[in-house]
Structure 1
Amino acid sequence: MRRDQRTGDHRHSLPAQAPGPGNLPLELTAFVGRTAELAALTAALETGRLVTVTGVGGVGKSRLAVRAAAAAAARGGAWLVELSAVRDPDLVEHAVADALRLTDHTHRTPRKVLVDHLAGREVLLVLDGFEHLVEACASLAGDLLHRCPGLRVLAAGRRPLDTGGERIFPLAPLPAPDAAALFADRAAAGLAGFVLDEGNEADVAELCRRLDGIPLAIELAAGRLRALSPAQLLSRLDDRFALLTGTRRDVPPRHQTLRTAIGWSHELCTAEERLLWARLSVFCGPFDLDAVEYICTGDGLRADDVLDVLSELLAQSVVTREEGPTGVRYRMLDTVRAYGADWLEATGDAARMRRRHRDWYMGLATWCELDWFSPRQARVAELVDVELPNLRGALEYCLTEPDETHLGQYLAGSLWFYWVGCGRLAEGRHWLDRALELDGDHDDSRLKALWVLGYVAVLQGDTAAALAALQECKDEAERTGSAIATAYAVHRTGCLALLTDDVERAETLLRSALDQYHELGELNSNVLMGQVELAMALAFRGEIADAVVLCEDVRQVCEDHGERWTLAYALYVLGFAAWTRGEPATARELVMRCLALDHAFHDLLGTVLAIELLALFTAVEGDPAEAAVLQGAASRIWPSVGLPLFGSGNFGRPHALCEARAREQLGDARYEDCLAVGARLTPDAAVSRALRASSGGKAKTRRLPLHEGRAGDGLKQGELRPGQRA
């Protein structure tokens, strides 16, 4: 921390992210002032479990909350949940789960998932920007605090949550010295050589006073120094004050002041800049230049001019720039976006912009679905992650506008690869259920949503919902003559039969679906997954050679097309087959690659199946303790996937054999101790440990051919013979 010689302000050096787990962002600018408030808020968090920072928009609630959270982080970490882009109250719990990096494939409610995760942990949860979701956030926070004794909640919004046990922490604007220091710091960042001196001190002090010490207003004003001096800024503010404030007596003065600052910055923009500002308000989260050029152009703004106009808005701090795995993206502060939305409504162009936004993200989802079956699969997953707020906005638009239901059904169905392949089953179920509750007038869109819902429900273990959706899909597909929907319905019904140990029926249905796909010329990840599922059915029936032929074919097609998600499941079956043939080194190599791929896609189902198989390998190779640790790690993951091992004797056989061997060698007490060690591992740590153990980096294992089992080992090659029950 350093002290400014003129203002006496304490400018806090930029800290690293809080140690330990969490997702608090790194600070990119100096934290100016607020020393007393920071100490008081940190103390409040030590004595209260629910503290809400309240204040006018732009007063610095979010910044102070994040800084306090970093100082008061619990052993389980401090986790920021940004809610400003969430519009549907039903998605609040999903947003919290996303922030906590929880992936759940089950039919449990998101709230149950959160309670189960947080019940035994010490965690600080920061809920930011909740004012439009007060009831949902208050309900969730109250329930979690009641059921999770180690949880604390720090909320930041324009009003309290109004729930039991809440301590309200009102945040006032910056006092004069801190406000001037903030202006000087931000001005120097944008205008090289700027210093607060005798020539500008009085103007800056008056400017900050007129802006009522609100940090956002001050930062916007400082951003104008590229074009105007402090004296000119003050003069222009005088000119606009009467025009932009005091129009509503029921609006608090500081709200009027903030609107004055933003409106004044708006007035200083050119006509094209104001037009783009308004149109950018249709975005629900970060956006890229391509989207801006498609959605926001026309009627006064040429596509060729967008980049220059956007650059001016960046220079004026109306828009911010960020870089991530998918490249450069832009975002607007929520308050600035809301101001633009008011102007967009006033222009009468809001409906057209929202339709164009919907069209762009419909196109994006369609392209991503097609590109999922390509070498760009990993990039597609990253792209949809980044675009999820805007895709949610498009879904919400479709499901709330008249005559748009069929487009919502199509969009929810087109994102099947993301719901299923990237660990988003619960959210996919949310949108699919909503879409199918509405009547659409396009059979194809509804049929697609039905088979995708069936697929999601199968993987969640919701057999009744899966059967209902797939039967409706099949009946309607046959009635309307949709051969492709019929094939998908048959395929997913076969998948359900496989997971419930009805292997003969699974084989019949999967072969039928694959024949139909072949006749239709269909080739994609779904078709290849059907081939892998058929191979699993054959392997469970003891037809290992035929299963290998199918999966080798899948592996070749995946290699040719750059597909990796389905490849992981083919490698799982090939690893299982290699093990049964007495080729442990090959089996381990295949399953290790499977695990790495599944983990990269956040596919918990594939991840936990691979860990279970590696645990068996580890037990037979001479380290039953490490095998038990891996089983413990798997036991922690299964509740987020569904019924452990689907309740299937076929999928559960490796687990049962591993447990029998480990218990025999370790004894019940030590086996249970090792399970407990594994159950404390996070999924990331479990995968890392499984891969290190498999490569010899941690576990001390001796690779034994299956036929070399020692006396008392209790497991030899024949005991994993397919078709046997554990």
Structure 2
Amino acid sequence: MSPESETTPRSLLRMIGDQGTSSPGDVATLLRPESAEMPAELASFVGRRRELSEARSLLSRSRLLTFTGVGGVGKSRLALRLAAAVRGAYPDGVRVVNVAALSDGRALTRAVGDAFDLPEEHTCRGPTAVAEALAGARSLLVLDNCDRLTDACAELVLALLRTVADMRIVATSRSLLGVFGEHVLAVTGLSVPEPDQPVMPKTLLRYEAPALFAERRAAIQPGFRIDADNCAMVAVLCRRLDGNPLQIELAARRPVPTIEQLVQRSGDRFEFLATQRTLVEPRHRSLRALISSSFELCSPRAQEFWARLSVFPRDFDLAAAEEVCSGGRVDRAEVLDLVTELVNGSILLRHDYDGQPRFRLPSAMREYGRERLAARGDERVFLRRHRDWCLSLARRAEAEWPTHRQLEWFARLHSEHLNLRAAIDFSLATRDEAGAGAELAAALGSYWIASGRLGEGRRCLDRALTLLPTPAAPRAKALRAATVLALLQGDISAGLPLLAEYRTAAHDLGDRSEIAHAAQCSGLASICQADFEQAHRCLTQALAEHRALGDLHGVLAALVLLATAAALAGDGDRARTLGAECVATSQALGEAWYRSYAQWAIGDALWQRGEARQATELVQDSVRLHRHFNDWLGVGLCLGLLAHTAVDGGEGERAAQLLGACRAASRKVTCGRASAYRFSHGRGLRCAGQARDLIGSSAFTVAFSRGTELSHSQVLALVLGAAERKPKKVHPATENACDTILTPREHEVARLIAKGMSNKQIATTLVISQRTVGSHVEHILCKLGFTSRSQVASWLARSGEG
């Protein structure tokens, strides 16, 4: 047969069409798998096992699957890899159409017709005619890069789904097609290690982004591999690039000799991540071109909103976006719709935190938005609005810290940590804003301690103090917080000059509250210097003034410090009395943090009286309360005391391990400075000596070293593992306050828990949301120091309510 007379699928279709005898079924029978045109992969495919598995599952249940995500995240590669993996399930083959190269809906229809070898008389009559011509086809159609023609793609896809019963469609787009029955798989960046996670070469390559970088880098730098010298920088680079495959590819291929230089140059990512290769699709030649194409697809108001959102350094919720980014050209009522538009357009990424949706701009999108905001002349305006929102948040958290909302506020501040840090940085960048920055850093005083970030808090406060004049009220508050953090870190040489200046500022201002807090700081300084009688005098004065002013923060802190000073001075009776008062007050207010410290002080007094078992139980309860925070200072105190009780029980190895964990906790608190527990240094040395006598120096060294390497969860397991298998006992020092632990609503929830009800059943019974029930349950467990619902039932039974 000559080439001219060879019968092709296209010629057969035309012959049948010309004869007027074809039916949709007849046309479909001429389609063959070998006519599919799957583009070959030019480079290896790295990672995405989870996404591929999920995509195959979705495609088996849905006829339309859309991959969404930011530009360069790898939607096309993933769609093509999926098509290659499932092509055997489609007898009539797989067809791929690159929509990015098409100008309008007509061109799209022609391209799909050409992919299936349809005659022009079908393609020129629009989507319906194409769908009718393919009615019997059992094939998979991949529509790649639908971004600029989403409406036309949606119209064509709808026609195909209605008419071609055995066709499945995979689309890639930065936004949804919006067709009924569409299933969506959001493609995010490749996996990267968390910022605070230690990395080693072998473990780093288990993450997809570093693995991709290593492979692509080796292609232009033979012999390159991730090793101990460069693994940390590779992790930083991959995080900075959000794990985005395109950005990683462009960075890896830059002819820069070291990874450190790559990280440094990635600061100007729009110029750095670019290529002049003409064979690369234009929108992929530079990061700026890629993001600009996304920006142009947004409505004018969404563009404005995108620029404003760039003041958030990372995550934010809807309420924050409304508060910070509305006004002027963006009405507050529009914010939800604009967030939805940006999420649907893969500009904003959404995730859930504690059951609530949060959003973030990928770093490249954020930097692009900041450029736009600066070009509009609005950057400083919205940075200030962001700072004011953070300041309002910190003020409310500080006011409600000694209440039942304490855990809720801690979780909220923890989720907003990067926002708070950015707001402080902005404020301290210029002297004009320093007062607000100092107030913000000072208002976070309790949070700095409870989150284990004393060093960060001090750095912020030190910067603020260099900018603030004296004797302004913001400076006094900053001095107070800086003094407390320095003393708690054991940095007496820095803390005492701060304290002296703070006392002078408080008296110069004539502020009774600040004068009371200055006396309290003096008491803390005396404890750190082991002058417990002077501490008692200062703290008694502070407590009386706090009570007169109705300062709950001050009252609880003074009681804790008084109980601590009494315990360390060997006055057990006074320590137990003051500690029990603090516990009762804390339980009545529904807070847990101060209570945890008070229980440690009571436990210390009990241990000194020879009641090691009771002390152990009470301090374990204290650790249970501490674990809701990240307070290494408080946990370290508990570890030190538990080491003493372990020695008393003849458990030398356990004591050594606890002492090692206590040393590690101290180092986390002090950031390398002197011991945070210097006031009990002598007792610690005696405990270590007793443990060595029990197990020998060699075994002690091994166990101590093992203790220093324990993670937070491992420390908790070491302290609580055995105790969690026993019902909780309430010590007489705290049990008389139990009647005031729970609010009336929490009592109601507790009774329903005791009946064996789930959160959903409780929500239905009380006509409240499941989220509210979950919050009540968390507060109940925290207040009672429990870890399971069964313990709540037992507690009610003991109190006569079960």
Structure 2 length as normaliser, TM-score? 0.59
Larger Rg belongs to: 2
- 1:392 is matched with 421
How far apart are residue 657 of structure 1 and its match?
Answer: 4.4
**Contact in 1 for aligned 2:572/2:606 (Cα 8 Å):** no
Matches within 5 A, 1:505-584: 505-524=534-553, 526-584=554-612
The alignment partner of 1:44 has SS state of coil
Relative to structure 1, the CA distance from residue 210 to residue 563 in structure 2 (aligned partners, 3 Å threshold; closer, same or farther) is: same
- 1:311 is matched with 340
**Contact in 2 for aligned 1:280/1:296 (Cα 8 Å):** yes
The alignment partner of 2:315 has SS state of coil
How far apart are residue 490 of structure 1 and its match?
Answer: 1.2
The alignment partner of 1:322 has SS state of strand
**Contact in 1 for aligned 2:47/2:208 (Cα 8 Å):** no
**Contact in 2 for aligned 1:497/1:505 (Cα 8 Å):** yes
**Contact in 1 for aligned 2:315/2:360 (Cα 8 Å):** yes
Note the residue ranges of structure 2 that are not aligned, 5 or more in a row.
1-37, 52-196, 267-273, 727-802
**Contact in 2 for aligned 1:15/1:27 (Cα 8 Å):** no
- 1:371 is matched with 400
How far apart are residue 389 of structure 1 and its match?
Answer: 1.9
Q: Does 1:626 align with 2:661?
A: no
Q: Which amino acid aligns with 1:468?
A: P
- 1:45 is matched with 225
The alignment partner of 1:284 has SS state of coil
- 1:504 is matched with 533
User: What is the CA deviation profile of residues 285-316 of structure 1, one whole-angstrom value per residue up to 9, with x for unaligned ones?
Assistant: 21111111111112121111111111111111
Aligned match for 2:523, one of 470, 491, 494: 494
**Contact in 2 for aligned 1:637/1:683 (Cα 8 Å):** no
Relative to structure 1, the CA distance from residue 63 to residue 342 in structure 2 (aligned partners, 3 Å threshold; closer, same or farther) is: closer
Question: Paired residues, what number?
Answer: 533
**Contact in 1 for aligned 2:256/2:262 (Cα 8 Å):** no
- Paired with 1:487 and 1:367, the residues of 2 have a C-alpha distance of 22
Relative to structure 1, the CA distance from residue 286 to residue 585 in structure 2 (aligned partners, 3 Å threshold; closer, same or farther) is: same
- 1:470 is matched with 499
How far apart are residue 466 of structure 1 and its match?
Answer: 1.3
- 1:357 is matched with 386
- 1:612 is matched with 640
The alignment partner of 2:359 has SS state of strand
User: What is the CA deviation profile of residues 45-101 of structure 1, one whole-angstrom value per residue up to 9, with x for unaligned ones?
Assistant: 3567237999xx999965389999xxxxxxxxxxxxxxxxxxxxxxxxxxxxxxxxx
Please say which of residues 419-428 and 624-633 is displaced more in the overlay: 624-633
**Contact in 2 for aligned 1:528/1:554 (Cα 8 Å):** yes
Relative to structure 1, the CA distance from residue 671 to residue 38 in structure 2 (aligned partners, 3 Å threshold; closer, same or farther) is: same
- 1:14 is matched with 49
Relative to structure 1, the CA distance from residue 662 to residue 295 in structure 2 (aligned partners, 3 Å threshold; closer, same or farther) is: closer
Relative to structure 1, the CA distance from residue 48 to residue 422 in structure 2 (aligned partners, 3 Å threshold; closer, same or farther) is: closer
Q: Which amino acid aligns with 2:525?
A: L
- Paired with 1:597 and 1:666, the residues of 2 have a C-alpha distance of 32
User: What is the CA deviation profile of residues 562-595 of structure 1, one whole-angstrom value per residue up to 9, with x for unaligned ones?
Assistant: 2111111111011122233443332111111112
How far apart are residue 431 of structure 1 and its match?
Answer: 0.8
**Contact in 1 for aligned 2:473/2:509 (Cα 8 Å):** no
- Paired with 1:469 and 1:262, the residues of 2 have a C-alpha distance of 49
How far apart are residue 660 of structure 1 and its match?
Answer: 3.9
Aligned match for 2:311, one of 282, 292, 300: 282
Aligned match for 1:598, one of 604, 623, 626: 626
How far apart are residue 375 of structure 1 and its match?
Answer: 2.2
**Contact in 2 for aligned 1:287/1:387 (Cα 8 Å):** yes
The alignment partner of 1:45 has SS state of coil
How far apart are residue 18 of structure 1 and its match?
Answer: 12
- Paired with 1:435 and 1:568, the residues of 2 have a C-alpha distance of 31
**Contact in 2 for aligned 1:612/1:634 (Cα 8 Å):** yes
How far apart are residue 411 of structure 1 and its match?
Answer: 0.9
User: What is the CA deviation profile of residues 377-398 of structure 1, one whole-angstrom value per residue up to 9, with x for unaligned ones?
Assistant: 2232222222122212221222
Q: Which amino acid aligns with 1:561?
A: L
- 2:617 is matched with 589
Relative to structure 1, the CA distance from residue 404 to residue 440 in structure 2 (aligned partners, 3 Å threshold; closer, same or farther) is: farther
Relative to structure 1, the CA distance from residue 43 to residue 31 in structure 2 (aligned partners, 3 Å threshold; closer, same or farther) is: closer
User: What is the CA deviation profile of residues 412-435 of structure 1, one whole-angstrom value per residue up to 9, with x for unaligned ones?
Assistant: 111111212211111111110110
Matches within 5 A, 1:630-649: 630-642=658-670
- 1:63 is matched with 243
Q: Which amino acid aligns with 1:325?
A: D
Relative to structure 1, the CA distance from residue 381 to residue 429 in structure 2 (aligned partners, 3 Å threshold; closer, same or farther) is: same
Q: Which amino acid aligns with 1:371?
A: E
How far apart are residue 494 of structure 1 and its match?
Answer: 0.6
- 2:75 is matched with none
- Paired with 1:663 and 1:365, the residues of 2 have a C-alpha distance of 47
**Contact in 2 for aligned 1:375/1:562 (Cα 8 Å):** yes
**Contact in 2 for aligned 1:624/1:662 (Cα 8 Å):** yes
Relative to structure 1, the CA distance from residue 531 to residue 396 in structure 2 (aligned partners, 3 Å threshold; closer, same or farther) is: same
How far apart are residue 658 of structure 1 and its match?
Answer: 3.0
- Paired with 2:364 and 2:442, the residues of 1 have a C-alpha distance of 33
Q: Which amino acid aligns with 1:316?
A: G
User: What is the CA deviation profile of residues 103-157 of structure 1, one whole-angstrom value per residue up to 9, with x for unaligned ones?
Assistant: xxxxxxxxxxxxxxxxxxxxxxxxxxxxxxxxxxxxxxxxxxxxxxxxxxxxxx7
**Contact in 2 for aligned 1:58/1:217 (Cα 8 Å):** no
Q: Which has the higher contact order (CA 8 A, sep 6+)?
A: 1
**Contact in 2 for aligned 1:58/1:215 (Cα 8 Å):** no
Relative to structure 1, the CA distance from residue 472 to residue 334 in structure 2 (aligned partners, 3 Å threshold; closer, same or farther) is: same
- Paired with 2:464 and 2:264, the residues of 1 have a C-alpha distance of 41
- Paired with 1:558 and 1:422, the residues of 2 have a C-alpha distance of 19
- Paired with 2:206 and 2:353, the residues of 1 have a C-alpha distance of 14
- Paired with 2:669 and 2:481, the residues of 1 have a C-alpha distance of 17
The alignment partner of 2:49 has SS state of coil
Matches within 5 A, 1:418-497: 418-440=447-469, 443-497=472-526
Q: Does 1:330 align with 2:359?
A: yes
- Paired with 1:209 and 1:313, the residues of 2 have a C-alpha distance of 28
- 2:295 is matched with 266
Q: Does 1:413 align with 2:442?
A: yes
The alignment partner of 1:390 has SS state of helix
- Paired with 1:645 and 1:278, the residues of 2 have a C-alpha distance of 45
The alignment partner of 1:600 has SS state of coil
- Paired with 2:282 and 2:461, the residues of 1 have a C-alpha distance of 39
Q: Could you tell me the percent identity over the aligned residues?
A: 29
**Contact in 2 for aligned 1:598/1:606 (Cα 8 Å):** yes
Q: Which amino acid aligns with 1:63?
A: G
The alignment partner of 2:530 has SS state of coil
The alignment partner of 2:432 has SS state of coil
How far apart are residue 369 of structure 1 and its match?
Answer: 1.4
**Contact in 2 for aligned 1:558/1:566 (Cα 8 Å):** yes
The alignment partner of 2:623 has SS state of helix
Q: Which amino acid aligns with 1:523?
A: L
Q: Which amino acid aligns with 1:539?
A: A
**Contact in 2 for aligned 1:634/1:679 (Cα 8 Å):** yes
Relative to structure 1, the CA distance from residue 61 to residue 523 in structure 2 (aligned partners, 3 Å threshold; closer, same or farther) is: closer
The alignment partner of 2:225 has SS state of helix
- Paired with 2:281 and 2:411, the residues of 1 have a C-alpha distance of 34
Please say which of residues 290-299 and 368-377 is displaced more in the overlay: 368-377
